[in-house]
Amino acid sequence: MMKKLLLITLGFGLAASASAQSLKTYSKFVLANNYENPSFAPTGLKPTKKVQGVKTNSLAVTFTTLGTSANAFTNLLSDVNPISVNTTLNTVLFVHRNAPSVTGSGASGNLRYDLSTDGGITFTTDIGPLNPINLNPCRHPQGLIYNPAGNTVANNAYLVYTGSTLTGGTAFGTTVTGVRKLDGTGNTENSGFNADNASQGTSLVEVKPGEFWVADFNGLTNQAQAYKGIFNNLTNDVDWSVAVTFPDTMANSASASIGFDPTGNIGWYGSVADLNDPNRVTGKFNPIFYKTMDGGLNWSGPIVLDLDSFSNIIDSLGFTPTTTISTAFEADIVVDINGNPHFSIVAASKSPTTDYSIQTGRFAQGVYDITFNSIANKWEAIEIVRLASFRGNPTSDPYSLDTRPQTSRSKDGSKVFFAFTDTEVANQIDTGGNTFPNFNILGMDISTRLFTPILNVTAGGDFDGVAYLTSIYQEAIQTANSYQIPAVMATLGLAGTDPVVHSYANGIEVLNNTYTDNLLRAFYGGTVGLSNISNNVFTVSNNFPNPFSGVSQVNVNLERSLNVSMTITNVLGQTISEKSQNMSAGVNTLQIDATNLTSGIYFYTINAGGFNVTNKMIVR
């Protein structure tokens, strides 16, 4: 584990509240409240809000009413992917839970979907159910449009879905999977995959055509894991398997996401969790990563980033020597054109005496992009925004909503987009809770490393101050002058157990000519910036002898046991050979066999723990 930096007492103009977050009832490894009564009728009511000033919304965003869910547990987690868009088919899909009082059948845990074949202008709603056989309540549904190669007809595409069931109505158990053709035929339902894993699969992504991945934690073994699904053309179903269970155990965990670069070869599994390590600071979350370079066949890690090592987080939020930095419970990941992750988290200070709780007063926490800079070979924490609020209770029920940090990217990975909800100062009437949120988004250009200004999507419109349960599609839609971010948000009833009505936001547009802000930006009056940490995981010696013929050696000194890979390339960048193996802490020796290499200059790259070191060698 990385050494904690000495925390310095800093002056801070806005006082942080001493209130702290408590573990959510739907967090990993925690029992879930059973709000499954199918008899609730839609109230059509919103929580009362305070709005100051004239409503003005400069964005041409339109909201189309979608289907209804029995309660707020349809997309309560920000790392769940319930939206899918296919521009070739001009089709939009949203998967959600059932509202029996509206549809007249089934239970709240039956999954339904809304479908548009005109680009999100009109929808057919509450189609289904997708899982009529399943008797256990199902939550956190996810759905993707799978379009077979060469198909241009929406009805010939497929809906791929997953969901998390409750065992006995209280604890999460199995994962439900299935497929349905968009013409309404061929529905499949598989209730029992990875039985009794006691957790919730999230972050459903299509990595390559017909290849799907889901991130999860195994609640019985406290291990991170990922599922892989392959579309079966004979059964028109997806065959799922547990692709990897990482060997490390977690003392606790809160969020898991998985993403791949546009090639589908470089993938990152990101989580906010507490690794079982005797040297750790107990009771706090850190970002923990695993990485694959070969499409998920082999993974390296864990890469544990101690947030106390990022000086800008320390400097920005204001700390005393007795505090440490932790995360909130929600996060989301995408991977850019260079194969680097962008892991959106909320970070804040934490008292060492309180487990998994961060300070939640006004401006006491921020949204950060935790990313790896492969050019500088350093991890970075880029502060996206200083939050004016954190957790809110917008209904009379004691369930809560966070600021929902989420990420999306362009198809080619050249642009990354960050979204969050926050209650503005003008709307704030409580002590800092995110009770009257607006939806905000901004973009980052990977090449120039410039940002757009933050766009308040809902200010001045029907969702001003009531942008609840926002979810964005993981891939932005490119137009001639912009990127559009498909999103869904919900209208709540008076209580969290009341039905919610979903709406599709069409036209959230990030213009191509607005990437003008550098990394030193300000929002809500807070100075923000960039900090990084360099490779303190391993060192690599020069190969010896060098120049050489036959065999040469390289020493790799590891701080902890890791999977180590070595890739040899020529001067044209072509890969000559590559191999990987798990190595113990301390000095390890790798051999380079040049018996079959012609004379010339070559390069060997050592990768371990998310860092790369490249050296030159000469073959005689």
Residue 42 has pLDDT above 50, yes or no: no
pLDDT in tens, 549-607: 999 999 999 887 777 889 898 888 888 998 888 888 899 999 999 988 999 999 999 98
pLDDT in tens, 452-498: 989 999 988 888 888 999 999 999 999 999 999 999 999 887 776 78
Distance CA 358, CA 348 (A): 6
Residue 499 has pLDDT above 60, yes or no: yes
Distance CA 337, CA 136 (A): 41
DSSP class per residue in 82-127: -EEEETTTTEEEEEEE--HHHHSSS-TTSEEEEEESSSSSS-EEEE
pLDDT in tens, 322-338: 678 889 989 999 999 99
* Lowest mean per-residue pLDDT among 73-87, 232-246, 383-397: 383-397
Residue 156 has pLDDT above 90, yes or no: yes
Q: What pTM, to 2 d.p., does this model score? A: 0.83
pLDDT band at 169 (very low <50, low <70, confident <90, very high): low
Q: Residue 263: what pLDDT?
A: 95
pLDDT in tens, 426-465: 655 555 688 888 999 999 999 998 999 899 999 888 888 8
pLDDT in tens, 518-536: 765 443 334 445 666 767 7
Q: Residue 147: what pLDDT?
A: 97
pLDDT band at 343 (very low <50, low <70, confident <90, very high): very high
pLDDT in tens, 171-222: 667 788 999 999 999 999 987 777 656 667 889 999 999 999 999 988 788 8
Q: Residue 523: what pLDDT?
A: 38
End-to-end CA distance of the chain: 41
For the residues 63-88, what does the mean pLDDT come to? 89
Residue 144 has pLDDT above 90, yes or no: yes
Q: Residue 560: what pLDDT?
A: 76
The residue among 239 and 558 whose pLDDT is bigger is 239
Q: What is the DSSP letter of 452?
A: P
- Token pair of 614 as six digits: 């490249």
Task: Check: CB of residue 314 under 8 Å from CB of residue 7.
Answer: yes
Q: Residue 41: what pLDDT?
A: 30
Average pLDDT, the chain: 82
Q: Residue 40: what pLDDT?
A: 29
pLDDT in tens, 267-301: 999 999 998 887 777 888 999 999 999 999 999 88
Task: Check: CB of residue 313 under 8 Å from CB of residue 531.
Answer: yes
Give how far Cα 577 sits from Cα of 465, 552, 568, Å: 56, 15, 5
